[in-house]
Amino acid sequence: MIDFQGILHKVYSEIGNRQERGKVATYIPELGDIDINKFGIHLVDSAKNEYSEGHSQEKFSIQSISKVLSLTRALSLVGEKLWSRVDVEPSGDPFNHLSLLEQENGIPRNPLINAGAIVVADVLVSELKNAKVEFLDFIRRIANDPSIDYNLAVAKSEKNTGFRNFAAANLLKSYSNLKNNVDEVLDFYFHQCSLEMNCAQLAETFFLFSNRGHCIQDQKFLSVNQVKRINALMLTCGFYDEAGEFAFEVGLPGKSGVGGGIVALLPNKFTVATWSPGLNKKGNSKLGMEALEMLTTETGLSIF
């Protein structure tokens, strides 16, 4: 039996108070005020035992982590034909790169960079009657938690300053890879990014990716094959131009967000979420990465 609580405690004591914490994202003004000294970690093992340290019950903006959840919804709605509109190759570029420009075909490199997630958002706006309401309901069902919600101030803040996402969406539109109105798709995208969760809710929500598609309540949301695909995308594309580094240091599929959250998992073993708002130069939580590196070193558990 692995002493997860003991290991989380060690991670928290050694990493949680480090001085070098990176920088909080300010390009979304509403995120700029978050206290950089926060640090939380929460782990759910395959038997659904839960372990926590630090500010694991405090909510934060999950930002790009939501891209995995919108992808999950889109894949369950339209299946494999999704891949005709978005590719599955790592980009090696920052999350907000307009990499469509280079390919000249309007197909984003993968669904976890912004351009790809905007195509996925377009699919949801097409397929759902009221995308914002139904997507939120979907997340609440996976997490078994009706308290999960959007942060409307964060969504509004990003809408006012998300010029690059408007550029990406317009570019997609010019290639006919956006079916709906740009403003409508981005309104959905900014709301999905503004979803707030704490580390415990995040680990519980992502439990399904370590549990062969069955959520924490044992309800099936994805097939084993779909989970394989999404975990592969998290491993190769979940950290943008730092995906190689994350695989090298941590060795788990995972996803980061500019709110400072990271979620990662080892199939059939555990799901873990960290939160530390300071980001490194690549836009990933600095202490979150260090904590997960220590976790996989101390437990001896990684996909490798």
φ and ψ at 218, to 5 degrees?
Answer: 70, 15
Q: How far is the CB of 258 from ligand GLN (least distance, A)?
A: 4
How far is residue 183 CA from its own chain's centroid?
Answer: 23
Say if residues 56 and 200 touch (Cβ distance below 8 Å). yes
Among 53, 87, 158, 293, binds ligand GLN (CB under 6 A): 158
Q: How far is the CB of 10 from ligand GLN (least distance, A)?
A: 28
* Residue with Cβ nearer ligand GLN (189 or 270): 189
User: Known catalytic residue: 255?
Assistant: no
From 240, 250, 272, 286, active-site residue: 240
CA-to-CA dists, residue 284 to 20, 26, 168, 274, angstroms: 14, 14, 21, 11
Q: Which of 49, 69, 9 minimizes the C-alpha distance to 197?
A: 69
- What mask, x for binding ligand GLN by CB under 6 A, covers residues 260 to 289? -----------------------x------
User: Known catalytic residue: 51?
Assistant: no
Q: Which helix (H) or strand (E) holds 61?
A: strand 60-61
* Residue with Cβ nearer ligand GLN (157 or 211): 157
User: Known catalytic residue: 67?
Assistant: yes
Is residue 123 part of the contact set for ligand GLN (CB under 6 A)?
no
Is residue 151 part of the contact set for ligand GLN (CB under 6 A)?
no
Annotated ligand binding at 158? The verdict is yes
Could you tell me which residues come within 8 angstroms of residue 102 by beta carbon, excluding any fewer than 6 positions away? none
Is residue 302 part of the contact set for ligand GLN (CB under 6 A)?
no
CA-to-CA dists, residue 57 to 34, 40, 41, 129, angstroms: 15, 8, 9, 33
| Count of residues in contact with ligand GLN, rule CB under 6 A | 11
Amino acid at 41: I
Q: Locate tokens 């097409």: which residue? A: 126
Among 8, 59, 60, 63, binds ligand GLN (CB under 6 A): 63
* Binding region for ligand GLN (CB under 6 A): 63-64, 95-96, 114, 158, 165, 193, 257-258, 283
Active site residues per annotation: 64, 67, 189, 240, 258
